Chains A and B, each alone.
Chain A
Amino acid sequence: MPDGPAGAPTPEPIPLAKLRPPTLHPRHVARAALTTRLAEAWRSPVTLVSAPAGFGKTSALVAAMGADPARVAWVALDERDDDPQRFFRLVGAALQRVSGHGAALERALATAQAPPVPVLLTSLLNALSAARSEVLLCLDDLHLVADPQVHEGLEFLVEHAPEGLRLVIATRADPPLPLHRWRARGQLLEVRADELRLSADHTAEMLTRELGRPVGEATAAAVLHATEGWAAGVRLAALALVGTVDTDERALVERLAHGTGYALEYLAEEVLARLDGPLAAFVLDAAALDAFTPDLVDAVTARDDADARLREARERGLFVQAAPPPEGAPPGAAWWRFHRLFRTLLRGRANAVDAEREPLLRRRAAAWFEDHGAAEVALEYALSSGDTRRGARLLDARAYDLVMQGRARYVERTLERLPAEDRARAQRARLAYGWALLLRGRYDDLAQLTNGLQDEVQALSAGDRAQLLALRAVLADTRGRAHDALALAHEVLDAAPERDLVTRATAQMALAGARRELGEIGPAIAAYEGAIPLSRAAGLAVPEGLARAHLGLLYVQRGQLSKAISVTQPLEGAAGHPAAAAALLSRCAALLERDELAAVRAALPEATALAERGGQPAVLVNAQLAWSRLRQADGDRHRADAALEAARTLVERGVPTWVRALVAARSCEASAAAGAFDAAEAHLVGAEALGARGPARAALALARARLLLRRRAPGDLDAALAITSALVAHAGAGDPGDGVRIGALVVQASTQAASGDASSAHTSLARAVRMAEPEGFARTFVEAGRECAALLGRLGHPYARRLLAAFPSEVRARVVDAAPEPGLQAATRRERDILRALATAASYGRIADDLGLSVNTVRFHVKNLYAKLGVGTRLEAVERARTLGWLEDDGA
């Protein structure tokens, strides 16, 4: 057994046989009315064919769809498809075959970190809609699927399907879908048992075809009476009638017409009774198997005649059908199975004779499949026959690959099916399931699982121990236990095999997180940077997305906005993935610093929606912080506060200390800006007690300085100056980074100005502006408000002028009036009137009319204005004037 996994395994192949509509029975009885009715499916958003087993649902559909098979996406479901990822993978593959769309859905679901199904379906539906594809998606045997997520996905599909996509469901039980609603809206075509029942004529026709001779009226009537037009019953009756002599037929008819017995069972027994010993033995034994080849039947029965018996059974029409090969089974062989209903009857008969035989045969089949490399099929046989020891062993060997292939749900369910004793033995399977919990952010469940495994750590191999340590390191990191996380991560990186990239990437992330929590920003950045190629090599999008998100925020704090924006570039293939949300939000944080509000406005809604689907509190908090800053920039203080309030609620769900500190800092600033100094103080005091380090501690210090600057109680300005000076001067291990330093310089300048030290204020702000220019920091100046604007106006630095342009117009107007740009002549009142008119896109003639001037006079003023503003076009003139605050109404 390999000691550790090397990364994500290749996806499981899609069993194509499940995507081929079955062929019609050669003696199929055509039913024109039913076919016409089902052809309506092309015009109905949803078609439901709901009837018990053996009513000919599948055949009726195949007959109706057969006219246009190229547009029918068929999925034959089985018990193993009761898993949303697997189910929608099949749907994707089926749609791909007929429409050329769906491959992306299929591939995305074949991994451990698949985005939620609705996200993927949205892209698929858009593609189908754009291509105007006409597709009938047929789901056969949907009753085998119970998972609510599948039904939610189907409901989503129907509610959002483009015109050309129609859903057809064949099932034995009405699915938990909003059938009532669809019915009321006229979106549902229903074909139920009564419509599927064979008429007297069709019953007679089917009997005639099956028997190859005409049947008497009495016989047909008796069969119809006993079977009530149930197709499987009629075929079984025909089988029972084959080769009967007259007296036998009369006896059978008598019993069918008047008996009280369950007709199908009785007919099946009649059929069995007519088979000779070896064939009956073959049929009863093979019915214990879900699908079989002669080799398999011989192997489990220890006989050697299966090949001949199978031929015989097929010749006699004993409900033998071609079956999809079980997954992982040796290729080449043709697989067979009995029609489900007939098989059930056969199993009943076999169990009545010897209840021990079926489990015995299935246990042998488990061994056979295991020997032939079909581990998962072997696992199913083992579990269903009570061989849980073998089941646990097989699950243990496969679980890791299954999880990484997106089958965590199956691993979870299978673990639940094991008795406690065998579950305890399946340590590797539980460990593998731990990875699924980690990738879904289910930390509480993961903690419980790792605690359990920790007690049995001695029984684990070295590679598995490293995996367990890596999971524990991540947990320690998410719980803010940085020193534990660091120690565990180092242990993993020393012990994990080089090729176990998943474990190493995970440990690397825990290590980086711990460094960050400890305020060691340089090492944290180096660790996150190292985690990106590792995650990529391991095929893990989730940690890669998180590493990029962390780097983005850290670069912002360091003052490297370009790097922040480039590292958080949306990743190809990760679009729509919750893992992409964190990186997108970090990108928004960088864009906000640059005051690129339009870009933030464009990106934030999607990032927030993804974050909500992912449900990670820390990511959700970052979304709310970004909204709060954006709303504040819009001047919408009420909604900015609401976003902060949401962030504070989310914090209570458990986030790292540094996230908590950022929320407290922002809350403090918002309260202080509103003059609520006690509330501001309260936000801060709680957070300062957390002992955050590095940039988080600096953010809190800066918030306190801003509070002091606004409050201006005796001694406050001196205290603010002390704090900002410390932040500006601090270098070395606890360096808050230039991003924070720029903010500190801005606060320092305002503090100095407020203390009457104009020259120091000028120096501090000039330094801030010089540091801000290369990377384009802007928002931190704007958020410092009016005083900062006034100081900027006096700097005369070109970047200071650009910064001023970002201030709200009412602030800007006063500043520019107070400190006109050197060399810039003020505009006259008339020129300002004309500028405002220019901004409305009115023609010169219209402007002249409105202002009571001649067109030539307007032209004259415009020419002068262009010269004053140093511009060449109307658009530039308006822009420039807006920057200077010349467009504001100066009537006051």
Chain B
Amino acid sequence: MAPATARAYELRVERHLGSGAAALFPEFELHHEPDGSTVLTGTLADQAALHGALARVRDLGLVLIGVRELPRVHGAG
């Protein structure tokens, strides 16, 4: 069960990520967008987990173009 502080986030990066890069973000689901970007959605335990994910984005040299919190869905997560 996710802790009470858990939130669903969506990260958006330039370019389509393949399975290798996806494996570095196991807590996210990846979708390729038609505009050539990739959207990563996932439920993270807290802010520290979000920053950890952002550091991975940085360390891969990916261009981050968006971060947002997704509305909570009752009964999910």
Contacts and interface: CB of A to CB of B under 8 A. Distances in A.
Contacts of B26: 351, 355
Contacts of A344: 24, 59-60
B48 to A, nearest CB: 11
Interface string A328-364: 0000000000001100110111111001000000000
B62 A262 contact: yes
B23 to A, nearest CB: 4
Given A172-B59, A341-B60, A265 B18 contact: yes
A54 interface: yes
Contact of A269 (B15, B18, B62): B18
B20 interface: yes
A261 B61 contact: no
B30 to A, nearest CB: 11
B59 A53 contact: yes
A423 B38 CA distance: 40
A268 interface: yes
A173 interface: yes
Interface in B22-58: 22-24, 26, 32, 36, 38, 58
A53 B60 contact: yes
B7 interface: no
B65 interface: no
A264 interface: yes
A75 B42 CA distance: 37
A268 B21 CA distance: 11
Contact of A230 (B16, B24, B59, B61): B61
Contact of A262 (B17, B23, B59): B17
Contacts of A52: 58-59, 61
Contacts of B17: 261-262, 265
A173 B60 contact: no
Nearest to A352: B23
Nearest to B54: A173
Contacts of B15: 260-263
Contacts of B16: 260-262
Given A260-B15, A351-B26, A265 B20 contact: yes
Given A260-B16, A355-B26, A265 B61 contact: no
A693 B22 CA distance: 71
A809 B8 CA distance: 78
A443 interface: no
Contacts of A677: none
A265 B21 contact: yes
A341 B36 CA distance: 22
B19 interface: yes
Most chain-B Cβ atoms within 10 A of its Cβ — which of A173, A260, A268, A340? Answer: A260
A266 interface: yes
Given A53-B60, A173-B58, A341-B59, A266 B24 contact: no
Interface in A153-177: 172-173
Interface string A251-282: 00000000011111110110000000000000
A264 B60 contact: yes
Contact of A351 (B18, B24, B59, B61): B24
B65 to A, nearest CB: 13
Contacts of B20: 265, 268-269, 345, 348-349, 351-352
Nearest to A261: B16
Contacts of A269: 18, 20
A352 B61 contact: no
Contacts, number: 72
Nearest to A193: B61
A842 B22 CA distance: 90
Most chain-B Cβ atoms within 10 A of its Cβ — which of A55, A344, A348, A350? Answer: A348
A261 B18 contact: yes
A262 B24 contact: no
A347 B24 CA distance: 8
B36 to A, nearest CB: 4
Contacts of A266: 18
A733 to B, nearest CB: 59
Contacts of B62: 262
Contact of B58 (A172, A264, A347, A355): A172
Given A53-B61, A172-B59, A341-B60, A355 B23 contact: yes
Contacts of B22: 348, 352
Contacts of A53: 58-61
A535 B41 CA distance: 57
B15 to A, nearest CB: 4
Contacts of A260: 15-16, 32, 36
Contacts of A348: 20-24
Most chain-A Cβ atoms within 10 A of its Cβ — which of B20, B23, B36, B38? Answer: B20
B77 to A, nearest CB: 22
Interface string A173-212: 1000000000000000000000000000000000000000
Contacts of B21: 262, 265, 345, 348
A341 B61 contact: yes
A52 to B, nearest CB: 4
A345 B60 CA distance: 8
Contacts of A264: 60-61
Given A262-B16, A262-B17, A263-B15, A349 B23 contact: yes
A233 B59 CA distance: 13
Contacts of B59: 52-53, 172, 340-341, 344
B69 to A, nearest CB: 22
Contacts of B18: 261-262, 265-266, 269
Contacts of A351: 20, 23-24, 26
A263 B38 CA distance: 13
Contacts of B19: 352
Most chain-B Cβ atoms within 10 A of its Cβ — which of A263, A269, A349? Answer: A349
A54 B24 contact: no
Nearest to A266: B18
B55 to A, nearest CB: 8
A263 to B, nearest CB: 7
Contacts of B32: 260
A414 B50 CA distance: 21
Contacts of B61: 52-55, 230, 232-233, 264, 341
A347 B21 CA distance: 9
Nearest to B59: A53
Contacts of B36: 260
Interface in A484-503: none
A263 B19 CA distance: 13
A352 B21 CA distance: 8
B27 to A, nearest CB: 12
A54 B60 CA distance: 9
B4 to A, nearest CB: 17
A232 B62 CA distance: 13
A624 to B, nearest CB: 41
A20 B5 CA distance: 44
A264 B22 CA distance: 13
A645 to B, nearest CB: 42
A416 B26 CA distance: 23
Contacts of A265: 17-18, 20-21
Contacts of A355: 23, 26
A340 B22 CA distance: 18
Given A52-B58, A349-B23, 4 more contacts: A260-B16, A262-B21, A348-B23, A350-B23
30 contacts: A52-B61, A53-B58, A53-B60, A55-B61, A172-B58, A172-B59, A173-B58, A261-B16, A262-B18, A262-B21, A262-B62, A265-B17, A265-B18, A266-B18, A269-B18, A269-B20, A340-B59, A341-B61, A344-B60, A345-B21, A345-B60, A347-B23, A347-B24, A348-B23, A348-B24, A350-B23, A351-B24, A351-B26, A352-B22, A355-B26
The 5 closest A-B pairs by CB, nearest first: A351-B23, A352-B23, A348-B20, A349-B20, A52-B61
Interface of B: 15-24, 26, 32, 36, 38, 58-62
Interface of A: 52-55, 172-173, 230, 232-233, 260-266, 268-269, 340-341, 344-345, 347-352, 355
